[in-house]
Structure 1
Amino acid sequence: MHIGYARVSTTDQRLDLQLDALKRAGCERIFTDQASGARNDRPGLEGATSHLRAGDTLVVWKLDRLGRTVRQLVELASQLEGRGVHFASLTDGIDTGTAAGRFFFHVMAALAEMERDLIRERTKAGLEAARARGRQGGRPRKLTARQVSHAAKLLADPETTGSDVAQTLGVARSTLYRALRAKSSLSKL
């Protein structure tokens, strides 16, 4: 019996491509998850592995749908192998039912992890280069330093409320107070 497993990481991604491929591959049952591959608590994967019996094959569209690290993939493959279950990845051409498939699985898993590590290193280097040029990452601030100073002066009047000032500036009250705390902690330095 072929049991399929499909996964996407975010809500804006769709499973259609994977589901179509798994159906064409003859999967009689398909389990799905909408979660990061780094997570170990994926109900769809748990459901798929609980339905597998000796001689069955767990089928995924691509190797990275199953796990994010070589360790995860190798551990799962070992568990499946210990139960007499095979593993197949459609786009990677892996079938652990053969010696060549088992070897190829380990090589592909190592390459997938190396690719993720390289992406992480390039991203980190790019962020450091941007910081060296004075660019800050993250979301732009809602209030300028001038607006925060003005808000502090307005709040010095006991009749003015934080809600009034926040409404005047077009921000939430929590945003206003967060900016005021940041300003006061900077001025203490």
Structure 2
Amino acid sequence: MDRSSTGRSTPSRRPARLPRLRRPGGVHPRLIVSGTRAGLAAVRARGKVGGRPAVVDEKILNMARDLLPNSEHSITAIAKMLGVSPGTLYNHIPDLRELRASRISAQLEDSNR
């Protein structure tokens, strides 16, 4: 296709009369956002909680902390036993690596005495 005679370097894909921020039907994006936020606030006022349900509760975290000193189990094995991913454990126990290292070194010191 020869575009040398059009007078423009690139063809326009948007009609000139159509406003850029308007949607079909005349609803502005800010109205959509404010309506969505109002709906979410109304749902929260009724006691509903949105979002994805939590995988980890205190029981699972306590079991993970109890299994950490045992050097026989890796973090991946502990996560498998508890039915969560290793990343979930790292996310919910921020000092997991340091905690594990300190407990293992304490066990080694006790066994050497």
TM category, shorter? 0.5 to 0.7
Aligned partner letter, 1:54:
G
Contact residue 52 and residue 58 of structure 1 kept, 8 A: no
Aligned mates of 1:119, 1:161 — CA distance in 2: 48
TM-score computed with the length of structure 1 as normaliser: 0.36
Aligned mates of 2:59, 2:21 — CA distance in 1: 52
Question: CA 1:110–1:177 in structure 2 vs 1: closer, same or farther (change >3 Å)?
Answer: closer
How far apart are residue 150 of structure 1 and its match? 1.6
- Among 135, 154, 159, the alignment partner of 2:67 is 154
Contact residue 79 and residue 85 of structure 2 kept, 8 A: yes
User: Which consecutive residues of structure 2, in runs of 5 or more, have no partner in the other structure?
Assistant: 95-113
Task: Please tell me whether residue 142 in structure 1 is matched to residue 55 in structure 2.
Answer: yes
Task: Please tell me whether residue 117 in structure 1 is matched to residue 30 in structure 2.
Answer: yes
1:54 is aligned to: 7
TM-score computed with the length of structure 2 as normaliser: 0.55
Q: How many residues align?
A: 90
Aligned mates of 1:52, 1:164 — CA distance in 2: 69
- Of structures 1 and 2, the one with the larger relative CO (CA 8 A, separation 6+) is 2
Aligned partner letter, 2:36:
T
Name which one, 1 or 2, has greater alpha-carbon Rg.
2
Task: Please tell me whether residue 178 in structure 1 is matched to residue 91 in structure 2.
Answer: yes
CA offsets 1:12-64 (integer angstroms, 9 cap, x no match)? xxxxxxxxxxxxxxxx8xxxxxxxxxxxxxxxxxxxxx9993389645xxxxx
User: Which consecutive residues of structure 1, in runs of 5 or more, have no partner in the other structure?
Assistant: 1-27, 29-49, 60-65, 67-86, 88-95, 97-101, 182-189
Q: % of aligned pairs identical?
A: 30
